[in-house]
Chain A
């Protein structure tokens, strides 16, 4: 058997894919989305808090954010998931029972927050100081100026980097299987892996990979579109017949030197 045929039969067995597809779509996809979306939301909120702490005037907040970021960015994702999932399991058992999902989501969120915090911080710090001064001059407090003017601009500037992190998060959601999942909790990768193990054919894993691409590629393009829209704004709807810049200043006409 030539290598190409082997490759084809191992990864492109349409029957194996067809067999795995229903469970992939009804169980794996929803679970992957639950893990990724929950962790993305929680991770982004925590990341924003970390970003603000990282530029805070309080040395203690800055220091805390720095240590957190260094630790959670420096550990392998699998190690963090295991540490959180196993370490906090007794506590989780008391609060919500044996379900490993909440701890999995927590672990993914804590990892994502470390990266997203740095992304948001760099965006916020890229906003010109004059913007803060402009907002403060109107009478906004520092907190309101940050919330209404600086942070929204900063986050818009780093949307592509934020999406990179969301994509990483979607892929990292597959690591939650370390915590032990019952059949109905398996995400895309785990289902592909189980089919591959029982059939000896890897096509279901390739199908799982295609499902990840079906999530990540459109996400990239949607956010790029939003990014362009936010940068350019809507097309101007105002009339173009407003006066020009030379109106009404008769007093000093011809007197400027």
Chain B
């Protein structure tokens, strides 16, 4: 995996708050991901992990706080332009079922990247090749396995050459035997130097691949650090309880 690695940037989330009515989902989240590093966000369901990702690419606007790429706030930027810089992969893939795999990847390249048809096709096929699915270009998403669909979703996000990648429980909807291929692509991408924030329940992946692991509960990061520190020397009692349950 060598795509889109040279343009990755650092990501800083500072004191981000978000409430849906009386429900305070994020209560001052801080997270720093240096250029080319991978941060895995772990925590129980409902702790605000997925919402945090959506505030980073502004699918949801935070109420307060800041998001910085390479040290510059992006909250004043055009959110559509920001999302082309920050790729996102979802738990349910969110591929467009009425389009072929190839067109799923070329759509944004042509409409947003303003590439011609041939150039977009070439870029898309190269990305599909990287995730091992070049031969599926003409298939519909429904003709692929869940793991293959998720790899197409990764290729689609990478085709726009993002500077940061967000993964929202990318393997949670997959059958266990399909998880490994997707995690492999993500691990390769991390090794190639992409700045990544990965919300995951795959503790093995977090331990092996992450530079930083952040534990979230009730809308705040309770503890963050290198994987060995978080997994082997957990300080916060809530984190220790969580790890006791999932490991």
Chain A, interface residues (CB within 8 Å), range: 35 or more
Stretch with Cβ within 8 A of B (4 or more), from A180-188, A204-212, A245-253: A245-253
* CB <8 Å contact, B138 and A237: yes
Question: Once the chains are docked, how many angstroms separate the CA of A224 from the CA of B25?
Answer: 46
Stretch with Cβ within 8 A of B (4 or more), from A38-46, A97-105, A145-153: A145-153
- Please give the distance in Å from A133's CB to the nearest CB on chain B: 6
B residues 51-93 near A (Cβ < 8 Å) are 57, 59, 80-84, 87-88, 90, 92-93
Partner of B84, one of A138, A148, A257: A138
Taking the complex as formed, is A3 at the interface, i.e. its CB lies under 8 A from any CB of chain B? no
Question: Once the chains are docked, how many angstroms separate the CA of A236 from the CA of B140?
Answer: 7
The dominant DSSP class at the B interface is: helix
Taking the complex as formed, is B234 at the interface, i.e. its CB lies under 8 A from any CB of chain A? no
Partner of A139, one of B83, B94, B98, B101: B83
A residues 48-82 near B (Cβ < 8 Å) are none
Partner of B180, one of A133, A238, A241, A253: A253
30 A-B contact pairs sorted by A residue (CB < 8 Å): A133-B90, A134-B93, A137-B88, A137-B94, A137-B157, A139-B108, A139-B112, A140-B112, A152-B98, A153-B98, A236-B140, A237-B139, A242-B132, A242-B135, A242-B148, A243-B132, A244-B181, A245-B147, A245-B148, A245-B179, A245-B182, A247-B132, A248-B132, A248-B181, A248-B185, A250-B184, A252-B183, A256-B202, A256-B205, A257-B246
Interface residues, chain B, with chain A CB atoms under 8 Å away = 57, 59, 80-84, 87-88, 90, 92-98, 100-101, 107-108, 111-112, 132-140, 142-143, 145-148, 156-157, 160, 174, 177-185, 187-188, 202-205, 207-209, 246-247
